[in-house]
């Protein structure tokens, strides 16, 4: 992480997971995470360690303590209270003591060091977090109404309320609700990630998106196409070849001018590292250099999403964070 191969330092990654990075840097970090299995694993390790520490409680006394000892302890405590001895207040023993914090920090430092030492050896394993497709049932949402609601959560109700809704079934995406404003909302699955993403087969990923009419005509077909190929059991290489052929034969459309999409759901799960990320808009243009939008430059609000980027779809996707979730609440700290 500290070598020049990575765009983010470990400290920044930790700050990112703690929601302390500025939005532009956070989106850059997300972009890097998308393509860096090593960083994803490290982020997951950090997060897991953090969760373990937060969940760590000092064990309560054993129930097998004898009644005599219990009584003696109670008597001793009573005497101290009577003597008005002040003891540290321990209302909740979860991480309230500075020594516990210090210990946790020490453990974290050791863990980070170990991860650094073993990083190279683990590299091969990092790419196999999700080495192949999980049983298809894991990608499905059993409750159809829940999937409809999640799809709608990608955009404000004023937009998604009149949108067409697609849900994923065993034969592919199918229309659950007909719309009337030209928008199409659905919950994308992990296989819309870049083909070299470590999370390509992550069955936990749920990515609510509402495509505007131009994107529904020219970007959504790519999601549909990828899904069909996944269901047909094609390998990644076969999928890439098929998509290339689709564009060569013009069976797949070029992105229409003005194609964009809303991703403002806080119910989503974009990947293991970022969870629901931040509410944002996405813009699709024919494959171009990211500098043509000033993306990923210092203080630029625009970030490149490497989802397509010629690999193989000839489309560049830019991301711009916005202030609120689709329900109107302010986005939480990153």
Partner 1 sequence: MMNRKMARTFTLGTFALVAVLCAARSGRGGDAKAPYPSMAPLDEYLMADRDAEIALARSAAPPSISSDATVMVLGRHGYETAVKGKNGFVCIVDRAWMSGFDSPEFWNAKNRGPSCFNPQAARSILPITLKRTDLVLAGLSKDQIMDGIKKVFQNKEIPALEPGAMAYMLSKQGRLNDSAGHWVPHLMFYVPVTDNMTWGADMPGSPVLLNPHFNGAPEPVTEFLVPVSQWSDGSPASTDHH
Sites of contact with partner 1 (CB under 8 A):
22-24, 155-159, 181-183, 212-214, 255, 257-258, 260, 262, 264, 278, 281, 283, 285-286, 288, 291-294, 297-302, 316, 320-324, 326-328, 330-334
Q: Please identify, using beta-carbon distances, which residue of 64 and 158 lies nearer to partner 1.
A: 158
Is the separation of the CB atoms in 29 and 12 below 8 Å?
yes
Neighbours of 332 (CB within 10 A): 10
Q: Please identify, using beta-carbon distances, which residue of 168 and 331 lies nearer to partner 1.
A: 331
Q: How far is the CB of 25 from partner 1 (least distance, A)?
A: 10
Neighbours of 309 (CB within 10 A): 18
Q: How far is the CB of 299 from partner 1 (least distance, A)?
A: 4
- Give 202-233 as a DSSP string: -TT-BEEEEE-HHHHHHTHHHHHHHHHHHHTT
Q: How far is the CB of 318 from partner 1 (least distance, A)?
A: 9
Q: How far is the CB of 200 from partner 1 (least distance, A)?
A: 27
- Give 72-137 as a DSSP string: HHHHHHHHHHHTT------S--SS-SHHHHHHHHHHHHHHHHHHHHHHHHHHHHHTTSS-SPPPGG
Q: Please identify, using beta-carbon distances, which residue of 200 and 283 lies nearer to partner 1.
A: 283
Q: How far is the CB of 262 from partner 1 (least distance, A)?
A: 7
Closest CA to 47 of 3, 17, 27, 79: 17
Q: Please identify, using beta-carbon distances, which residue of 245 and 297 lies nearer to partner 1.
A: 297
Q: Please identify, using beta-carbon distances, which residue of 130 and 183 lies nearer to partner 1.
A: 183
């Amino acid at each position: 992480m500290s070598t020049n191969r990575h765009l983010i330092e470990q400290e920044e990654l930790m700050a990112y997971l703690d929601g302390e990075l500025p939005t532009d840097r956070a989106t850059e970090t997300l972009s890097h995470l998308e393509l860096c299995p090593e960083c994803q694993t490290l982020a997951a390790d950090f997060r897991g360690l953090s969760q373990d520490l937060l969940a760590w409680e000092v064990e309560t006394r054993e129930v097998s303590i004898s009644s005599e000892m219990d009584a003696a302890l109670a008597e001793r405590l009573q005497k101290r209270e009577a003597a008005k001895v002040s003891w540290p207040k321990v209302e909740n023993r979860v991480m309230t003591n500075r020594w516990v914090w210090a210990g946790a920090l020490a453990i974290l430092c050791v863990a980070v060091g170990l991860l650094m030492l073993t990083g190279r050896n683990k590299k091969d394993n990092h790419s196999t977090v999700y080495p192949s497709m999980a049983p298809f049932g894991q990608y499905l949402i059993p409750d159809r109404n829940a999937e409809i609601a999640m799809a709608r959560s990608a955009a404000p109700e004023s937009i998604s309320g009149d949108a067409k809704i697609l849900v994923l079934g065993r034969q592919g995406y199918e229309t659950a609700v007909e719309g009337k404003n030209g928008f199409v909302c659905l919950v994308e699955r992990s296989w819309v990630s870049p083909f070299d993403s470590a999370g390509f087969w992550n069955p936990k990923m749920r990515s609510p998106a509402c495509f505007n009419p131009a994107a529904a005509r020219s970007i959504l077909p790519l999601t549909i196409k990828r899904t069909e190929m996944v269901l047909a059991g094609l390998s990644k290489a076969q999928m890439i070849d098929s998509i290339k052929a689709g564009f060569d034969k013009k069976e797949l459309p070029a992105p229409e001018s003005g194609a964009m999409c809303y991703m403002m759901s806080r119910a989503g799960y974009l990947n293991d590292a970022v969870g629901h990320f931040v509410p944002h808009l996405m813009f699709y243009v024919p494959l171009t250099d990211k500098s043509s939008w000033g993306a990923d430059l210092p203080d630029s609000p625009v970030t490149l999403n490497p989802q397509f980027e010629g690999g193989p779809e000839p489309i560049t996707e830019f991301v711009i964070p916005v202030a609120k979730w689709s329900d109107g609440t302010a986005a939480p700290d990153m």
